[in-house]
Amino acid sequence: MKFLITCLFSICTFSLYAQSTRVDSILQDFRQHPERVMVAAHRGPHINHPENSLAAIREAIRLGVDIVELDVRETKDGVLVLMHDKTITRTTGQPGGTQDYTYAQLRQFPLLHNGQPTTERIPTLEAALQLVKDHILIDIDFKADGAEAARKTCALLRTTGTTTQALFFLYDYKEATQLRSWDAQVPIMPRAYNPVETAAILQMGKFPAIHIDESFYSAAVAGSIRNAGARVWLNALGKYDKAEQETPGAGFTQLLEKYPAVNIIQTDLPGELIAFLRAKGLHR
């Protein structure tokens, strides 16, 4: 009897843990509360940390961000790493791109922040996925070349147990068919460039989110996305973030007033956006 009670206690404890990770709460909001606005950190919160660094990812988790963007490229020896630009010059001061170096060589270069070297190095995608597991959703901004790199990315999501936490961002929505053939479980976020593409995407099946631009936002376009059960992703980068920095509250207010159906916002100011949304009852 004592053994049975111990086993039952262990099972219950495990079940409670399995249902109480931070990412479970985020996914519940994502799937069941479209009225809440999700916050995406552009390249990780990089005001105080190098962009696309493990430190920036930790900061996103600490701030309570919902989604962190991870820009994925590949090294000369086939290692998937995080890097936004085609070259590593801006972020490390070195010439060339990730494809010109082995990962061991890249590890020799400190990531820069405000032009100064830090203790951070270019991280592997695998290290980033291990860090985010159970903590935060990820926007896989896939910038590597070739189908094999995409397949490896899907495989890493599976082996790290982070597939359900991902939004695999596609610049060309037509690539969704091929990606689904490799792994039907990977959540895909296609980008639409106009209303016609938005309609074509919706005809391809269900997507968790669709990235649109303010240039063609309308109540009809946004409504069609939300009626299909998908979230509407829009960036605050540039104009709205700048207005927010100049006058706190102004930039985000302007964005939500112009685009009221948007329910994922990517920003360079994730901490400020979370505070703004919570004050309005739009974030948990």
pLDDT tens for each residue of 50-91: 999 999 999 999 999 999 999 999 999 999 999 999 999 999
pLDDT per position as a tens digit, 110-136: 999 999 999 999 999 999 999 999 999
With respect to residue 99, please indicate whether it lies within any of the assigned structural domains.
yes
With respect to residue 7, please indicate whether it lies within any of the assigned structural domains.
no
The burial class, CB within 10 Å (0-12 / 13-18 / 19+), for 72 is buried
Residue 277 confidence (pLDDT): 98
With respect to residue 235, please indicate whether it lies within any of the assigned structural domains.
yes
CATH value at residue 242: 3.20.20.190
With respect to residue 18, please indicate whether it lies within any of the assigned structural domains.
no
With respect to residue 63, please indicate whether it lies within any of the assigned structural domains.
yes
Bridge partners, 38 (sequence order)? 264
Sites in the chain below the pLDDT cut of 50: 2-18
pTM across the whole model: 0.92
The burial class, CB within 10 Å (0-12 / 13-18 / 19+), for 237 is middle
Classify residue 132 as left (phi > 0), alpha (psi -120 to 50) or beta.
alpha
The number of distinct structural domains making up the chain is: 1
Buried b (16+ CB within 10 A) or exposed e, 212-224: beeeebeeebbeb
Residue 6 confidence (pLDDT): 42
With respect to residue 15, please indicate whether it lies within any of the assigned structural domains.
no
Residue 19 confidence (pLDDT): 53
DSSP secondary structure letters along 106-127: HTTSEEEETTEEEEEEPPBHHH
With respect to residue 1, please indicate whether it lies within any of the assigned structural domains.
no
Residue 20 confidence (pLDDT): 81
Show the domain range for 245.
Answer: 24-279
